[in-house]
Amino acid sequence: MAGHGDTDRIDPLDFDGRVVIVTGGARGIGRGITEGFLAAGAEVMVCGRTVVEDADLPTASDRSGAVRRAHFVAADLRDGDQAASVVAATVDRFGRLDVLVNNAGGSPGADAATASPRFSASIVQLNLLAPLYCAQAANAVMQSQDEGGSIINITSVSGLRPSPGTAAYGAAKAGLINLTQSLAIEWAPKVRVNALSAGLVATEAADAHYGGAAGMAQVAATVPLGRFGTPTDIAGICLFLASPLAAYVTGGNVLAHGGGERPAFLTAVEGLVSE
C-alpha cells in the first residue's frame, strides 16, 4: 500500500488489513478522513490531547456492511515522546502501520506584531514539529515492512500564499510542505511522503469563523467551484495518495482548494468597466 504499490489487490482502494493513524482524527477534517479509511476497511487509530469516549469516536460501515469504529490514544503531539507513543501503541495493537495522516493542526487568529513568543512557538510546534515527530516514528516502523508505508501531511493554502492574521501558522505550513519534499527523498523508496494543501473546508470551526450560513455562502461565492470543500473531499484524496494508484507519487503537494481564489485585479477591472 506504500513504497512500491500493492498490485495483487483487485481493488486498489481496498484497505482491508491495513492500519492507519490519523492525528486529530476525531473531529473536523480529521474525522472525515478517519471515516473514509474505516469505510475502506482499515483499522484506524486517532489521537488528540482531549480524551474521546468510545461512543463519540468516528464510525463507518465498510463494504461488507460491518460497522467499524476508530480507536483512540491520548497524546500531545508537540512532545516527541508522546508522538512516538502513538505509533508504538498502534503497532502494539495491530502489529503494523501502513499509513500516517498528519492532520492535527490549526491556529486562532493573532496579530503578528503583538503575538507572544510562547504563542508563536506553540503554533510552530503543533503545525510543523509535531508532524515531523510523528513521521519519524512512523518511518522507523514502515522501513522495516516489506511494503513500506505512506505518510500524508495535511497542510494548507496558507502555506502557499500570505497568511495575514495567522502568520506563524502560514509559515509553519510552508515549512511542512518543504519538509514533505525533503522526507520524500530521504525515506524513498520504502516510504512515500506527500502533502495535501487544503483550502476552504466546511467544518463546525469554519461555520463559527465565518459567522454562520450567510457568511459561509458569501465566502463560498469567491471559490471558482462555488462551494466549500468537505471533509469527505479531503478523505478521498488521502485514500488515493495512500493507495497503489499513487505508487509513483512522492514529494507531491495536492491542492484541494476548489480552484483557489479569484484574483483581486479581476474584480477591480470589472468595477472600472461597469463605471
Residues annotated as part of the active site:
169
Query: What's the distance, CA 43 to chain centroid?
Result: 17
DSSP H or E stretch at residue 22 = strand 19-23
Rounded CA-CA distance 126/104 in Å is: 7
Provide the sign of the torsion angle of the four alpha carbons 230, 234, 236, 239, taken in this order.
Answer: negative
Provide the sign of the torsion angle of the four alpha carbons 149, 159, 75, 80, taken in this order.
Answer: positive
DSSP SS3 for 167: helix
Rounded CA-CA distance 102/21 in Å is: 8
DSSP H or E stretch at residue 253 = strand 253-256
Under 8 Å between Cβ of 238 and 152 = yes
Under 8 Å between Cβ of 4 and 148 = yes
The set of cell numbers assigned to 3 is 513504497
CA distances from 47 to 2, 72, 117, 186 (A): 22, 6, 27, 26
Under 8 Å between Cβ of 41 and 16 = yes
DSSP H or E stretch at residue 215 = helix 213-220
Query: What is the dihedral angle through the alpha carbons of 158, 48, 29, 60, rounded to the nearest 10 degrees?
Result: 160
The separation between the first and the last C-alpha atoms of the chain, rounded to the nearest angstrom, is: 58
